[in-house]
Amino acid sequence: EAGVTQFPSHSVIEKGQTVTLRCDPISGHDNLYWYRRVMGKEIKFLLHFVKESKQDESGMPNNRFLAERTGGTYSTLKVQPAELEDSGVYFCASSQDQGESEQFFGPGTRLTVL
């Protein structure tokens, strides 16, 4: 069974540009999460989807970030326009059920904003 995949693995963009990150969860997992690790600091929660609905988006830093999960399968996270402080590693995770269900993480997308 394939794990959580993320694309691209690394993105380098100029300040002010737009970037879209993609996450493909494990097949059949209704729950999808986005996290971010900035500058080697702690990994911070961004948001949680249950199928196509946003269950919790309390961690989204500002309105330059837009997450979607149309059809309840893969998800995209768009940053527009990107700022220097958006640089970091963006992780996606998925889980089958809510409650005591393990979250499986992807390898992350490293975003560098110059």
Partner 1 sequence: GNSVTQMEGPVTLSEEAFLTINCTYTATGYPSLFWYVQYPGEGLQLLLKATKADDKGSNKGFEATYRKETTSFHLEKGSVQVSDSAVYFCALSPYNFNKFYFGSGTKLNVKP
d(CA 32, CA 74): 9
Query: Is 110 one of the binding residues for partner 1 (CB under 8 A)?
Result: no
Q: If binding means CB under 8 A, how many residues of this protein chain bind partner 1? A: 29
Stretch of 11-19, 32-40, 61-69, 76-84 contacting partner 1, by CB under 8 A: 32-40
To partner 1, the closest distance from the beta carbon of 94 in angstroms equals 11
Please spell the DSSP secondary structure of 20-42, one letter per residue: EEEEE--TT--EEEEEEE-TT--
To partner 1, the closest distance from the beta carbon of 102 in angstroms equals 6
d(CA 15, CA 10): 16
Angle at 76 between CA 65 and CA 54, to 5 degrees: 70
Going by the DSSP 8-state scheme, the letter that residue 54 receives in this structure is: E
Query: Is 77 one of the binding residues for partner 1 (CB under 8 A)?
Result: no
* Nearest to partner 1 of 64, 110 (CB atom): 110
* List of residues contacting partner 1 (CB under 8 A): 3-4, 31, 33, 35, 37, 40-45, 48, 55-56, 91, 93, 95, 98-108
